Structure 1
Amino acid sequence: MATYVTKEGLEKMKAELERLESIERPRITQQIAEARDKGDLSENAEYDAAKEAQGMLEMKISKLKDSIATSKVIDESQLDTSKVAILTTVRLKNNGTKQEQKFTLVPDNESDLKAGKISVNTPIAKGLLGKSVGETAEIVLPNGNKLSFEVLEISL
């Protein structure tokens, strides 16, 4: 199954993979060597911890390689801004509070609430998908609360 990412998101994954393989892997290998040099491995907590860290690192590297291999970069030039979709930025009016908010809908692995980027799989994003400027989205949150947003603007 393809994982949709932005070009920026794919570059971040590749940079993280490079860091793990070129910096973290040699560091853990060195820790294992140092622990092994301390003698009896059956009672060596440092060796056990380093081997466990190595296993976790290799698992993380493997997952990252899989994610990169199955990633499909979203072509922003093909996006339609007439409706709310992934990678669009939407300016909303909360009909309850009358406050305006602005969000960019992004793939799961690129969400960053502080930067105004919300996962396309959140309840709010799901409720906004496909809406046009002027439409109202009625969204029921997992806790049962209901929100109502008017779509004011859609952009890239």
Structure 2
Amino acid sequence: MEKEIILTNEGLNELKEELSNLINVIRPQVIEELVEARAQGDLSENADYDAARNRQAEVEARIKEVEGMLSKVKIIDDGGKKSSEVKVGNSVTFSNAKTKKDMTIKIVGAIEADPFENKISNESPLAKAMLGRSVGDTMEVRELKEPYKITIKEIK
């Protein structure tokens, strides 16, 4: 059985937009580049033609990859309502016992994870420690270096 790809509605829309852009904008541009490169004559020593063919292969591979992902998508409810326990799609505020700082992260599927936007993968050690827990729970996060304790303050 193929692994499900977990996405929020926002992530699904982004993936659909990327596919649409690849098919309707990028693919025609690459085809135009191929036509222009072919018009230059001898294809055996035509660097522009080789580059356009490589770009076409990359675009077609990405289209197939995105289509494959979309066929395995499982949408998670990220409706913004309060939850009693941490699930994928929740934003969680927690306190780190070591640093004494609070932080808020959103738990998303691996494809949507972006640490610069505080979106972490449901497969990360931090998310795994939080999933199924409630406000007030303290748990240990087992990282490669050194485990640390966190306490959940809020779940949205």
Same fold per superposition (TM over 0.5): yes
1:1-156 to structure 2, matched below 5 A, reads 1=2, 2-76=4-78, 81-142=83-144, 144-155=145-156
- Unaligned runs of 5+ residues in structure 2 are none
Provide Cα deviations, 1:91-114, integer angstroms capped at 9, x if missing partner.
Answer: 111101111111110111212223
CA shift, 1:116, in A, is 2.0
Distance 1:70 1:120 in 2: 17
Indicate conservation of the 8 Å contact 2:122/2:128, yes or no: yes
Distance 1:11 1:97 in 2: 36
Distance 1:102 1:18 in 2: 32
Q: Provide the aligned length of Structure 1 versus Structure 2.
A: 153
Distance 2:25 2:77 in 1: 32
Distance 1:59 1:95 in 2: 45
CA shift, 1:34, in A, is 0.8
TM-score after normalising by structure 2: 0.91
CA, structure 1 residues 100+72, in 2 after alignment: closer, same or farther (shift >3 Å)? same
Name whichever structure is richer in helix by fraction: 1
- Unaligned runs of 5+ residues in structure 1 are none
Distance 1:129 1:35 in 2: 53
CA shift, 1:117, in A, is 1.4
What secondary structure is seen at the aligned counterpart in 2 of 1:42?
coil
Distance 2:9 2:52 in 1: 34
